[in-house]
Amino acid sequence: MKGIETITIGYDKLMYAKCIHNSNILYQDAWKNIQKRKLMDTIMSKMNTSIHGSIIVWWLSQYKMKNTKLLEIGTFCGTNVMAISSILPNVSITTIDLRSDDKRLKGFYSLPANSIEAMKRNRSRLNSEQCPNISFLEMSSTMLHRSLPQQNYELIWIDGDHTTFGPYNDLHYALTVADANTLILMDDVFANDPSNATIAALRYLEADYELNYIFIQKRRNEEKVIAAIIKGNMDHVHPLTKITG
Ligand SMILES: C[S@@+](CC[C@H](N)C(=O)[O-])C[C@H]1O[C@@H](n2cnc3c(N)ncnc32)[C@H](O)[C@@H]1O
């Protein structure tokens, strides 16, 4: 295991990496285009300031010639997958979230009724011809192992329930559909808090799986990080060293 205290990359350092900087420009442009063309209702303006979209675009764009697969757990307003799909039309995207009438969804951000309505409109757009490479499914991630075909993904973006058992469930599933080429990203982690649900899940599962991971500061001046995880042999060069030098 790579110690969590030792490998944490700051937001600015990563943004200086040329590949991430370029991917960020593409991702920000895609967001602006979605807003300008009113393709989606954006419910929270802060969503595109996190570094995750740029990392996803960078990672998947390395597989240009292949039909790559992205799994997102936690669709929310859908703008993230729509931006990625417009930049990378060769990527087949599966994104899942709780049913619109699930009580847990309403509780998440104390969303007002009009935001729930906006979310429903977005969800129907995701499954329209507007987004031919996106498949949106309404379900809890606890059902993933029963509902999705057993296939490998090049990237799994875990961004659903970050509390209690959510990260364990989602990481456990992700590890069954990950191979050496898969990057697993987990959002909203407090890396130095051993009681944090994602840290607890990583600590538990690394007893069973060989995991390499690093932490990436999510936004400038923010304590929360994104865990970037590779399942594989410790002898391999960590794919993330391409950006960390
Ligand atoms: C932070 S938002 C996702 C944001 C989005 N991934 C992005 O990058 O913009 C978290 C979402 O996870 C969903 N969620 C929470 N628990 C879930 C579960 N058990 N299964 C699937 N989705 C879940 C919530 O409904 C919420 O919409």
Contact 170 CB / ligand 1 (< 6 Å): no
Q: Residue 235 has which token pair? A: 């002898």
Q: Relative to the CA of 169, which ligand 1 atom is closest?
A: 19
Contact 160 CB / ligand 1 (< 6 Å): yes
The Å distance, Cα 229 to ligand 1 centre, comes to 19
- pLDDT for 110 beyond 90: no
- Domains by residue range for the chain, with CATH: 8-244 (3.40.50.150)
Q: Residue 88 has which token pair? A: 């990378």
The residues with which 69 forms a beta bridge, in sequence order, are: 92
The Å distance, Cα 222 to ligand 1 centre, comes to 20
Cβ(152)–Cβ(178) below 8 Å: yes
Residues 121-157: tens digit of each pLDDT: 999 999 999 999 999 999 999 999 999 999 999 999 9
Residues 191-244: tens digit of each pLDDT: 999 999 999 999 999 999 999 899 999 999 999 999 999 998 655 556 666 666
Q: Read off the pLDDT of each residue in 37-58 and give the average, rounded to a whole number.
A: 89
The Å distance, Cα 211 to ligand 1 centre, comes to 24
Residue 197's Cα: distance from chain center in Å?
A: 17
The Å distance, Cα 159 to ligand 1 centre, comes to 5
